[in-house]
Amino acid sequence: EADIYQTPRYLVIGTGKKITLECSQTMGHDKMYWYQQDPGMELHLIHYSYGVNSTEKGDLSSESTVSRIRTEHFPLTLESARPSHTSQYLCASSRGLALHFGNGTRLTVT
Amino acid sequence: AQSVTQLDSQVPVFEEAPVELRCNYSSSVSVYLFWYVQYPNQGLQLLLKYLSGSTLVKGINGFEAEFNKSQTSFHLRKPSVHISDTAEYFCAVTSAGTGNQFYFGTGTSLTVIP
């Protein structure tokens, strides 16, 4: 079973703050992903990476940015948080065809 | 383009009764299909997957699913549910043609009633 860690689990911040959601995996997976999850909606892919120094935007437009300097680390940054960013953010990794997910970060922007 | 439709947003079922969670997909190419389960305040966990071969796939926790190419379906079944099966279930599809990007359904909330 893949080990993938997300911090923080819960975050409440004010509008305009800069935040970084952390995601790390210990399995050496090349592919990593960020999904946004809202109640009653499908998971939306917002960013993905196929390896170090590789990042792409997903299907859902997002004001966030990501970086992939190390294989195990794939942080997501919001330069200026807004209430519309309130959501659950799920990080995942894969080597083959199955995704392995972290426990998520639930973000609330007030 | 690929998409996944989960026909039931909520499914209540009594303990020890059978359950079927429905999933249909749309794709013009060969696909790989998955069911994930999400317990409260957790991420998604892989239940089972269909890549090729036998159309009946067995997964963890007594779940199984059947791939039906003609009906473009991948329904999830369990013959006897437990209270601990209460969770959100997501169907997902991917294919080589999409660069292995995954497309998820909107989820089915299974509630097992004692």
Q: Which residues of chain B make contact with A94, given a CB cutoff of 8 A?
A: 100
Sign of the C-alpha dihedral computed for residues A2, B25, A35 and A7 taken in this order:
negative
Provide the pLDDT for residue B99. Answer: 65
Of the candidates A26, A24, A58, which has an alpha carbon nearest to the alpha carbon of residue A44? A58
pLDDT digits (tens, 9 = 90+) for A7-36: 999 999 999 999 999 999 999 999 999 999
Q: Supply the Cα-derived Rg of chain A in whole angstroms.
A: 13
Three-state SS across B98-114? HCCCCEECCCEEEEEEC
Provide the pLDDT for residue A42. Answer: 85
Q: Tell if the CB–CB gap between B106 and A40 is shorter than 8 Å.
A: yes
Q: Kindly give, in sequence order, each residue whose CB lies less than 8 Å from that of residue A89, ignoring residues fewer than 6 positions away.
A: A6, A21, A34, A35, A36, A37, A76, A104, A105, A106, A107
Mean pLDDT of B32-42: 92
Q: Are B66 and B55 in contact (CB under 8 A)?
A: yes
- Above 90 in pLDDT, residue B41? no
Mean pLDDT of A27-51: 92
pLDDT digits (tens, 9 = 90+) for B5-34: 999 999 999 999 999 999 999 877 788 999
Q: Tell if the CB–CB gap between A40 and B107 is shorter than 8 Å.
A: yes
Q: What percent of chain B has pLDDT over 90?
A: 77
pLDDT digits (tens, 9 = 90+) for A50-66: 999 999 998 777 789 99
Provide the pLDDT for residue A2. Answer: 52
Q: Tell if the CB–CB gap between A42 and B46 is shorter than 8 Å.
A: no
Distance CA B40, CA B31 (A): 29
Distance CA B29, CA A11 (A): 41
Nearest to A103 among B4, B43, B94 (CB): B43
Mean pLDDT of B92-110: 85
- Give the Cα-Cα-Cα angle B35, A107, A105 (nearest 5 degrees): 45
Q: How confident is residue B79, by pLDDT bands cut at 50, 70 and 90?
A: very high
Q: Are A2 and A64 in contact (CB under 8 A)?
A: no
CB count in 10 Å sphere of residue B23: 25
Q: Tell if the CB–CB gap between B101 and A48 is shorter than 8 Å.
A: yes
Integer CA distances (angstroms), B58 to A24, A38, B64, B65, B75, in order: 30, 29, 4, 7, 12
- Above 70 in pLDDT, residue B98? no
